């Protein structure tokens, strides 16, 4: 997957929201922002699949059958911002969404209030390097409250400086509208939903020594079906060159198959208030795990690599006010999973070991 397409795919995959009540209205309180919430999707990211996009208005009936296409199951979860790479660069984020598969990782940073949910930027790991972008200005992900008939436009961009002489500038314009409503059925169940119709114009310009070397404009259309199961019920991304509002073959096709709930809410407009943190993170050969759980019981810390091999394990007799040093000398640079078990509380943090 190219660097250009990676942010585009993540933005599409990680739209997390929910619908409450018979009026199918999405408000700030309906959007998942709880650390530990996870969303499993079956995703087709190459090839094509037949989709039923429906028509304008409602009521509609949509059926999403994951057996209809070959795909992978990916997990997206709400995590503590301070446990993620480059989290410190987004102090205004109050929702952080993560997708990790093997040595690769994607993190989306957002801020949410009663009027909007904004995409601030993202971090990525390609197995060897961690890099990220801050959108300027932030992109409007949802304009709240979201109901049938809501529409908005948003423009955001970022700059990727790949070397001393090469610079890539990406500009996105989204034309969004909620143009249909009805009932959606998939592996996660049947629910009322809204359909968001998004037309995107992405302009990528690469500069070599300050002179334009090439430019590319890509036009795409997406549909998001937003339901009460905890995330987007489905997303369809049109084939390249097909920008019609009723396409029936998708290039990317994502269906929600399972969700679960966590228990620690993100802070409003502040860094996430997880009871367990690793500082610093990313880190060098030494780091510290801080646990603020109250009388949770004995604590076990296990650090595993992407293949599931244990590289470090630590114990403490009590988790209350515990500070555990993590000696990472001899541990290669990379992204690791740090599992913490303290009485009835369990959690997993991402630990990034720098070279």
Whether 270 maps to a domain, the answer reads: no
Co-location of 200 and 58 in the same domain: yes
DSSP 66: G
Whether 177 maps to a domain, the answer reads: yes
Task: Please report where in the chains the tokens 């995330």 appear, as a residue.
Answer: 231
Single out the residue in 264, 293, 318 at which a domain terminates. 264
Starting at the edge strand found earlier in the chain, the sheet holding 286-291 runs: 276-279, 286-291, 322-327
Q: Count up the domains in the chain and report the number.
A: 2
Residue 273 structure tokens: 């208030």
* Tens digit of each residue's pLDDT, the chain (355 residues): 344 444 334 434 344 433 333 368 888 888 888 888 888 999 987 778 888 899 999 899 999 988 888 888 888 999 888 888 888 888 889 999 999 877 788 999 999 988 999 999 999 887 778 888 999 899 999 998 899 999 999 999 999 887 778 999 999 999 999 999 999 998 988 889 999 999 999 999 999 988 999 999 999 999 999 976 557 899 999 988 889 988 989 988 999 998 887 665 554 433 344 577 788 878 889 988 887 766 567 788 888 886 678 899 888 876 556 788 899 998 988 888 787 877 656 667 778 888 8
Co-location of 120 and 198 in the same domain: yes
Co-location of 155 and 254 in the same domain: yes
What domain range is 160 assigned to?
5-264
Burial class (CB in 10 A: 0-12, 13-18, 19+), 143: middle
Co-location of 198 and 298 in the same domain: no
Q: How many CA atoms lie within 13 A of 271 on its CB side?
A: 14
Three-state DSSP class for 201?
Answer: strand
The answer to pTM > 0.85 is no
Residue 179 structure tokens: 């143009």
Co-location of 80 and 227 in the same domain: yes
Residue 10 structure tokens: 């993540």
Co-location of 215 and 280 in the same domain: no
Q: Return d(Cα 152, Cα 258) in angstroms, integer.
A: 30
Nearest to 312 by CA among 321, 322, 300, 320: 300
């Amino acid at each position: 997957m190219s660097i250009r397409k990676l942010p585009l795919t993540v933005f599409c995959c990680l739209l997390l929201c929910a619908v409450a009540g018979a009026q199918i209205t999405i408000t700030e309180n309906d959007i998942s922002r709880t650390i530990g919430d996870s969303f499993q999707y079956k995703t087709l990211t190459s090839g094509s699949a037949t989709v039923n996009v429906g028509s304008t208005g409602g009521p509609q009936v949509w059926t999403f059958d994951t057996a209809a296409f070959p795909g992978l199951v990916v997990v997206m979860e709400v995590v503590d911002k301070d446990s993620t790479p480059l989290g410190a660069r987004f102090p205004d984020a109050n929702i952080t969404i993560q997708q990790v598969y093997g040595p690769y990782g994607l993190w989306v940073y957002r801020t949410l209030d009663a009027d909007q949910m904004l995409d601030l930027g993202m971090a990525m790991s390609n197995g060897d390097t961690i890099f990220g972008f801050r959108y300027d200005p932030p992109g409007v992900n949802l304009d709240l409250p979201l109901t049938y008939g809501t529409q908005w436009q948003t423009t955001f961009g970022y700059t990727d400086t790949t070397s001393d002489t090469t610079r890539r500038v990406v500009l996105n314009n989204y034309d969004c509208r909620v143009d249909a409503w009805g009932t959606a059925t998939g592996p996660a169940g049947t629910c009322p939903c809204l359909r968001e119709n998004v037309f995107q114009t992405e302009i990528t310009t690469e500069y070599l020594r300050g002179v334009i070397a090439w430019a590319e404009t890509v036009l795409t259309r997406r549909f998001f079906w937003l339901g009460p199961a905890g995330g987007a019920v489905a997303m369809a991304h049109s084939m390249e060159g097909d920008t019609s509002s009723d396409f029936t073959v998708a290039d990317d096709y994502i269906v929600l198959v399972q969700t679960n709930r966590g228990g620690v809410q993100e802070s409003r407009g502040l860094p996430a208030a997880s009871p367990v943190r690793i500082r610093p993170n990313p880190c060098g050969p030494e780091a510290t795990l801080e646990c603020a759980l109250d009388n949770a019981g004995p604590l076990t810390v296990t650090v595993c690599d992407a293949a599931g091999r244990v590289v470090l394990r630590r114990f403490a007799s009590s988790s209350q006010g515990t500070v555990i040093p993590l000696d990472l000398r001899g541990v290669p640079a990379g992204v690791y999973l740090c599992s913490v078990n303290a009485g009835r509380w369990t959690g997993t943090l991402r630990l990034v070991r720098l070279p």
